[in-house]
Structure 1
Amino acid sequence: MTEYTPTPERLLRTLDVDAHLADPALKQAFVTPMFDIIAPRYDRFTRWFSFGMDAQWKREAIDAVRESARRLRPVQRALDLATGTGDLAVALARLWPGVRVQALDASPRMIEQAARRLSTRDADLADVVAPMVGDMMALPQADASVDVVTASYAVRNVPDARVAVREMARVLRPGGVLVTLDFYRPAFAPWRVAFLTYLQLAGDMVGYLWHRDPVVYGYIARSIQQFMSDDAFSALLCEEGFEVISVRRYLFGGVARHTARRSSV
């Protein structure tokens, strides 16, 4: 008798998003099937949802990597976390000759999209970028084995942000560079309410129109409400062995890019 395995769509409808966000032990059980569902339309959604700003934010993140990693040359190994469809991983692979990039995501369907990209429009990088399913809270990479780590819309989605940051510090070699891009809770309360209200309404609408399930994208606002400010994330980085080089805020603190270096001590 074949064991029944529910599709990500059916599974997600059985889960209570607020309960899963509030409980670190349950959070990943919600996040992974959600990203499995949105994987085929992820790039289109991020462009639409950010009014095209996401592409610019990621270009600036790559510029920050290039500038911050100058003294690391030659950069030999890079790791892109929550890689999604692999856009940052591909950009990293084009920065330095001879670099090897591992592109990790918890969602198998996202990794399928990244692999498809490497077999079509970025086929010249198929031997350079290695997509893999993995857990940011238990990275498979060895200690001090990576020169550069990038993570876009990543830490907010893990069960324990501190554990994830600690893992990034572990795999980075001393002096290695970390660049993150994520949503944060704006510090200014009136803007926070307006920002999260827009994200909630827009996310619910797209979730219903595309998947008949508002929570698929409405999750974003809920996850930000449960997350931290960009200042709190800077403090967390320092506590876990990083020197914060710069913080670039977008949308009045609703989105921020952190550039940090792994302490040599």
Structure 2
Amino acid sequence: MEPSQGEYTPTPEQRLRALDVETHLTDPSIKQAFVTPMFDIIAPRYDRFTRLFSFGMDGSWKREAMDAVRESARRLRPVQRALDLATGTGDLAVALARLWPGVHVDALDASPRMIDEATARLARRDADVASVVHPMVGDMMALPQASGSVDVLTASYAVRNVPDARGAVREMARVLRADGVLVTLDFYRPAFAPWRMLFLGYLQIAGDMVGYLWHRDPVVYGYIARSISHFMTEAEFSALLIDEGFEVVSVKRYLFGGIARHEARRRQVPSSSAPAV
């Protein structure tokens, strides 16, 4: 329903300030109500922030992730459908489209403003692949893709932001074909306690500072450290992938486990007609 004339509609910034980050991070039923408006706010400056916050390393991490995708997908012939989750402004979706001519790439994000940015990017900078990349607003907990319909799936800075990591990984397993490729890149809680304190301390101070300078709200980027402290280690994520039907092919750790890339394959599902043993 459209607001009536004169009716007050709060901005995403105002909506976010009314929410308590710790309450929403610890309650899966309301976590998305915090995450979506936060990403709506940061969408116009998202690429600039990731470069600044990572001292330029984000670009190399993502290039290495795409190298892993290309190598792992060599055995898949042909690669017809790819899915990029938490697509942001669409950088990985565009990279996927350039790996295989004619591939259909769904670029999904929960933030409508992020999808607006991805759509604008395709029109402005990446028109050569605009016909095969399909930005869409969607929920990682209930993917619109059909079961077994995706050959390659990527997810950068994605699972940490969903209400239920296991449920999201289960959805990834559902939509991937047997032997399909999964490559993820995300922040993780470092296992080594002294480094964890330093790592999260830096992210907290730097995030709060940028959040205040750019948006007059420290939590906009200070959320990153808070969300990592509530997340899992990269080893625990490997175990989760295995539990939900994946074979973990490789794990690349960055920043002593504060960032990690996982490369995995969807295991073959045993035929229901196979005899019990």
Calculate the TM-score normalised by the size of structure 1. Answer: 0.99
> In structure 1, what is the equivalent of residue 273 of structure 2?
none
1:167 — aligned with what?
Answer: 171
SS at match of 1:249: strand
Structure 1 position 53 matched with structure 2 position 54: no
Report sequence identity in percent. 82
Q: Distance in 2 between matches of 1:176 and 1:5?
A: 44
Unaligned runs of 5+ in 2: 270-277
> Which structure has the bigger radius of gyration?
2
In structure 1, the partner of 2:155 is 151
Work out which of the residue numbers 18, 21, 24 in structure 1 matches 2:22. Answer: 18
Q: What are the superposed Cα offsets for residues 158-205 of structure 1, whole Å, 9 maximum, x if unpaired?
A: 000000000000000000000000000000000000000000000000
1:185 is aligned to 2:161: no
CA distance in 2, matches of 1:118, 1:259: 27
Which aligned pairs between 1:88-127 and structure 2 lie closer than 5 A?
A: 88-127=92-131
Residue aligning to 1:257: 261
- Give the whole-Å Cα distance in 1 for the aligned partners of 2:162 and 2:181: 21
> Is 2:67 the counterpart of 1:63?
yes
Structure 1 stretches of 4+ with a deviation exceeding 3 A read 1-4
For these two proteins, the number of residue pairs brought into alignment is: 265
- 3-state SS of 1:64 partner: helix
Q: Distance in 2 between matches of 1:21 and 1:86?
A: 26
Deviation at 1:74, TM superposition (A): 1.0
Amino acid at match of 2:181: V
SS for the counterpart of 2:99 is: coil
Which residue of structure 2 lines up, in the alignment, with residue 86 of structure 1?
A: 90
Query: What is the SS of the residue equivalent to 1:203?
Result: helix
Question: Higher mean Cα deviation, 78-87 or 3-12?
Answer: 3-12
How far, CA to CA, are the matches of 2:58 and 2:169 in structure 1?
23
Counterpart of 2:190 in 1: which secondary structure?
Answer: coil
CA drift of 1:6 comes to: 1.4
Tell me which residue corresponds to 2:206. 202
